[in-house]
Structure 1
Amino acid sequence: MSLFSRLFLLSSFIVLLTSCEKPWQPIFNGENLDGWDTYIGTALDSFDHLHAQATTDKVFKVVEENGEKLIHISGEVNGSLATVDTFANYHLELVFKWGEQVYTKRNSGLLYHSFGEFGEALGTWMTNIECQLMHEKLGDTYLMNNTVCETEVAKSDDAFVYAKGGKATQFGKDFEGPGIKKAIDAENPLGEWNTVELYTVGRTCVHVVNGKTVMVNTNTGIYEDGQIKPLSSGKIQLQSEGGDLFIKSVRIKPIKEIPAEILN
């Protein structure tokens, strides 16, 4: 074999190694809640009696359905299921469906870039940026406490809706408000599984619902002392907040960039 051929094969092998995609890593191990912390926060409106009886083992547990282990979140009280680990620059996939029990509403959230102590946000959660899981609002953004982002939006019925190419607008409680509506409704019917994907690299975060991009937030940060400080990592929380839901899988893998087709 010639020197040129050997060099060509070596370079091809190096390209193959460097281009290999990192494998998925489960955050839910399919057996128990190892790797997660649990927290009971405030009572749901008019459900103080349930709050008095609530325990973390009751609100957050692993159950078996049709031979498959699932996380069940009861929704009977405001609570948090939070990763022990902190994550940055990743692609996360969450597969969930709503159950039949509703206390106030079918409400939950995928809370990312979470930091601080439980209870700092709305009496229950760590400070965070939320990808809404609430029924009929799946994929919306909600910014808790002093988190902020910049998003291209259009105005519709006194609300801001994500619109690619729209006006870049600063959001947060000290700016245009904490809420941004999803671009389209991609939620599956009640009782069916939904797949929510979160892409986050640096200060850009993308919400994808059942394969459709519904939100792109940029310049994520924390507003303190009149300045915006970058926020690009944190723990992941899942909410108990009014209705029961089942989680089939939560998995994550590191990424260096967000695919162009996801941003377009």
Structure 2
Amino acid sequence: MDGETVLKISGQIYGAVSTKKEYENYHLRMMYKWGSGKYEPRADAPSDSGILYHCQEPQGAFWNCWMQSQEFQVQNGDSGDYYTIAGTGMDIRSRKVVKPGAKFNIYIYDPKGEYKRFKSGEDGRCRKNTNYENPGVWNQLDLVCIGDKSYHIVNGNVAMVLERSVVYDKDDVATSLTKGKIQLQSEGAEVYYKDIEIRSVSKLPIEFFSLEN
């Protein structure tokens, strides 16, 4: 594309591109840009993809498409949101928003809010509080994972800080989830990724130090 090497995900089939190895304590960076293709059952919905991290086998654990994982949502207008995937959980400072007629509870990231446990079910999503995406151009995503804590960063802005990453067993007993494979979702929309880089870290990179201060 424009003389650059890019990864094109058509979105026509629900699935994912997956790493072969697991990662722990890392900084993942990439650029993304939406294409024009959109397909059923999301032809009329916002373009959608996602970074799935701390992924656990088997493939197809969720909807026969994706591994059990934590999701850094990549969706037109919603990039930076969090979703639980197939029995995972996170603690996130947030506030509840009352919206008449809403099917599920709505929670928005609030760095000064109370900790809320998000897990599969009605409370499986936390929304970012600001849209940092620039429409129609390349956008930068940074995912930083250190121990059981992670940071969703969009165009250099913190979308949310997530803590105490866990996975639940069939008896609803939680165990720490700090590593796994990484997947990029194909979910009904054409999307391009480029400049994908990953490096090991033991603390938050200095360029993001202000996020915790």
So what's the TM-score if we normalise by structure 2?
0.89
Cα offset, 1:227, TM superposition: 2.0
Contact map agreement 1:213 1:263 (CA 8 A) in 2: no
Once the two structures are superposed, the pairs formed by residues 124-163 of structure 1 within 5 Å of their partners are 124-157=65-98, 158-163=105-110
Structure 2 unmatched runs, 5+? 99-104
Q: Which residue is equivalent to 2:101? A: none
Once the two structures are superposed, the pairs formed by residues 1-264 of structure 1 within 5 Å of their partners are 65-103=1-39, 104=42, 105=45, 106-157=47-98, 158-173=105-120, 177-189=123-135, 191-224=136-169, 225-259=171-205, 260-264=209-213
Cα offset, 1:241, TM superposition: 0.6
More strand by share: 2
Q: How many residues align?
A: 198
- What CA distance in whole angstroms lies between the structure 2 residues aligned with 1:123 and 1:262? 36
Structure 1 unmatched runs, 5+? 1-64
- What CA distance in whole angstroms lies between the structure 1 residues aligned with 2:173 and 2:186? 32
- What CA distance in whole angstroms lies between the structure 2 residues aligned with 1:226 and 1:78? 28
Query: What is the one-letter code of the residue matched to 1:160?
Result: Y
Q: Could you say what secondary structure the match of 2:30 adopts?
A: strand
Cα offset, 1:217, TM superposition: 0.6
- What CA distance in whole angstroms lies between the structure 2 residues aligned with 1:121 and 1:192? 31
Cα offset, 1:67, TM superposition: 1.4
The higher radius of gyration belongs to: 1
- What CA distance in whole angstroms lies between the structure 1 residues aligned with 2:212 and 2:152? 10
Query: What is the one-letter code of the residue matched to 1:83?
Result: T
Query: What is the one-letter code of the residue matched to 1:173?
Result: S
- What whole-Å deviation, never above 9, does each CA across 1:210-246 have from its counterpart, x for those lacking one? 0100111100001122321000011110011111011
- What whole-Å deviation, never above 9, does each CA across 1:121-141 have from its counterpart, x for those lacking one? 122001110000011110000
Contact map agreement 1:206 1:263 (CA 8 A) in 2: no
- What CA distance in whole angstroms lies between the structure 1 residues aligned with 2:60 and 2:23? 21
- What whole-Å deviation, never above 9, does each CA across 1:7-34 have from its counterpart, x for those lacking one? xxxxxxxxxxxxxxxxxxxxxxxxxxxx
- What CA distance in whole angstroms lies between the structure 1 residues aligned with 2:172 and 2:37? 43
Q: Could you say what secondary structure the match of 1:155 adopts?
A: strand
More helix by share: 1
Query: What is the one-letter code of the residue matched to 1:263?
Result: E
- What CA distance in whole angstroms lies between the structure 2 residues aligned with 1:183 and 1:233? 27
Runs of 4+ in 1 over 6 A off after TM superposition: none
How well do the aligned residues superpose, as a CA RMSD in angstroms? 1.3
Cα offset, 1:262, TM superposition: 2.6
Structure showing greater relative contact order (alpha-carbon pairs closer than 8 Å, 6 or more residues apart): 2
